[in-house]
Amino acid sequence: MKKIIIVAIALSSLFGTCEKDPVQPSPGGYGNGPRTPVSSGMQGNWMYGNFSMTEYWSQNPADYLGNAFEIAIAFTLNANGTYEQYFTSKTVTGTFSTYHQSLTKGTIEINEASKTIITHAHTAHYRQSKNGQTTEDRDLDKSEITATTNYTYELKTEANGTKAIYLRLNGTGNALQFLQKF
């Protein structure tokens, strides 16, 4: 009986040393999703933004309340196949303003031959404020995150020399123009 216990201990320690270490998440909350290196021509910060032409003022003309609607979406594409997506929007209705902001991090696959991008979200943080008071500030649950998003893209250079990526969500709809920033 003693020999069986010794053999069992020896075998368990042998197999235990052969086990693969669990995959460790990459630093910064990007996860271990599928990824491809990002070419130098696509690395960097890309931003899309829009705002309405309507402005709001209070009953006192000296109190500016803000633009009726503003939206910005930005991506940072990193050489190692990770990305960050920033989103912010603001609405003003009457005397009430609401901000929504989020930061999503994950991995990215870019296929330059088929002009497709697939993002694999790993983490996301959301913040909402109303009239300057934070009403929500939290990490989103996995069930609240769109895990995989597919885009088609076209790289262009604008007339002023600025590089742009035109993205279409799931290959449909109008392309949004993301200009390369800083």
pTM for the predicted model, two decimal places: 0.77
Average pLDDT of the segment spanning 153-164:
95
pLDDT digits (tens, 9 = 90+) for 54-84: 666 666 666 666 667 888 999 999 999 999 9
CA 112 to chain centre: 20
Mean pLDDT computed over every residue of the chain: 81
Domain extent listing, the chain: 23-181
Distance (Å, rounded) from C-alpha 46 to C-alpha 39?
Answer: 14
